[in-house]
């Protein structure tokens, strides 16, 4: 069996960790690195959001004991110390979360993990403390929109006010909070988009975003099919809910799935704004002083991005050369991800 293990310094991880967590990782990791693998804690979700195909799957948790057994096996066998839960939902009920955290703490496992939660997760102060003590370093939420009307329209069953409470509750903890957002759901308008942007700016959270895509089996797919936006052949085995950094990808998407007949150029500007806002928020959470300097002197940020682009271009070129010459092993130091075989 193979596992893909991301081996990276905590300060260089793709999500800015809080300083206390970086220190803890360096203290308890032999080489000071995160060695991260992806796992799951179950299947499905108890939510019924219109955009999600998992809404049709009843949530089925693996037992906390089973999940921690799996984590401990990977830890002992492959020397990993971090786990990314890649699923629709991890923190399903307070009872499950308490048993899961207690299992890690009772076994005295020094590990770090990144779970996913819904905004209506019924946590309390004890739950937050258990998450801290058991090694939670990032908690991801599907916020989806900063507008209450939109949240109601796609059956999210939560409010923006609840989102602000979550962010405030975790602000003084070592756990970083991230959020994901969806644009262009049926009913979206410029006012709702502006509210989402304002929410992201106010919270300065690290976030991801994508455009609504009709997952087969979702309510959104049924809407799209009944209104002649697509059929099953259009959406099966396609890349879903993607960010659209290139103009070509955006044009292909909006030509087919402009559910609200919004102005194409205005939506393209929103896309570019959110990509830029992501960079700013990421920088704020990584280095607040540098963030404020960049906001005062924005041209410095563009110069930095240019250097990063050039570095990535050189890496990509060297990797292609290495593959062509079959000397890929010489570039191991340039690649963070390693494969380990038992």
Residue 339: pLDDT band (50, 70, 90) is very low
Map tokens 């209450």 to a residue. 148
Residue 302 predicted with pLDDT over 80: no
How far CA 222 is from CA of 113, 118, 230, 238, in Å, comes to: 36, 24, 10, 17
Map tokens 């959406």 to a residue. 235
What is the per-residue pLDDT across 104-136, written as a single tens digit (0 to 9) for each? 999 999 999 999 999 999 999 999 999 999 999
Among the ranges given (40-44, 63-67, 175-179, 246-250), the one the predictor scored with the smallest mean pLDDT: 246-250
CATH architecture of 2-296: Alpha-Beta Horseshoe (3.80)
What is the per-residue pLDDT across 17-57, written as a single tens digit (0 to 9) for each? 999 999 999 999 889 999 999 999 999 888 889 998 887 77
What is the per-residue pLDDT across 215-233, written as a single tens digit (0 to 9) for each? 888 899 999 999 999 887 7
Q: Which is it for strands 82-85 and 60-61: parallel, antiparallel or unpaired? A: unpaired
User: How much of the chain exceeds pLDDT 70, in percent?
Assistant: 85
Q: Rounded to whole angstroms, how far apart are CA atoms 189 and 87?
A: 29
What is the per-residue pLDDT across 144-199, written as a single tens digit (0 to 9) for each? 999 999 999 999 999 999 999 999 999 999 999 999 999 999 999 999 999 999 99
- pTM confidence score: 0.84
CB 10 within 8 A of CB 17: yes
pLDDT at residue 249, rounded to an integer: 84
């Amino acid at each position: 069996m193979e596992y893909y293990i991301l081996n990276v310094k905590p300060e260089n991880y793709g999500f800015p960790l809080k300083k206390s967590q970086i220190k803890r990782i360096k203290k308890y990791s032999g080489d000071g690195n995160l060695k991260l693998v992806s796992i799951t804690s179950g299947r499905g979700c108890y939510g019924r959001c219109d955009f999600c195909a998992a809404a049709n799957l009843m949530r089925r948790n693996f037992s906390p004991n089973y999940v921690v057994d799996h984590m401990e096996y990977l830890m002992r066998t492959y020397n990993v110390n971090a786990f990314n839960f890649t699923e629709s939902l991890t923190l399903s009920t307070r009872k499950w979360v308490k048993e899961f955290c207690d299992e890690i703490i009772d076994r005295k496992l020094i590990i770090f993990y990144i779970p996913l939660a819904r905004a209506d997760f019924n946590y309390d102060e004890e739950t937050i403390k258990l998450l801290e003590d058991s090694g939670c370093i990032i908690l991801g939420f599907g916020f989806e929109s900063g507008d209450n009307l939109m949240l109601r329209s796609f059956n999210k069953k939560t409010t923006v006010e609840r989102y602000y409470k979550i962010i405030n509750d975790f602000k003084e903890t070592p756990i970083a909070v991230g959020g994901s957002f969806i644009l262009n759901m049926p009913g979206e308008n410029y006012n709702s988009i502006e509210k989402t942007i304002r929410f992201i700016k106010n919270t300065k959270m690290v976030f991801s975003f994508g455009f609504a895509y009709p997952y087969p089996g979702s309510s959104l797919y049924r809407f799209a099919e009944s209104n002649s936006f697509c059929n099953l052949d259009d959406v099966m085995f396609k890349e879903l809910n993607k960010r659209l950094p290139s103009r070509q990808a955006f044009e292909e998407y909006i030509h087919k799935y402009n559910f609200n007949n919004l102005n194409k150029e205005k939506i393209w500007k929103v896309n570019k704004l959110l990509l830029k806002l992501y960079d700013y928020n990421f920088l704020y959470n990584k280095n607040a002083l540098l963030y404020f300097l960049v906001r005062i002197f924005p041209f410095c940020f563009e110069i930095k991005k240019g250097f990063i682009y050039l570095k990535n271009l050189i890496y990509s070129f060297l990797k292609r050369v290495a593959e062509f010459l079959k000397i890929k092993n010489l570039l191991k130091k340039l690649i963070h991800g390693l494969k380990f075989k038992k």
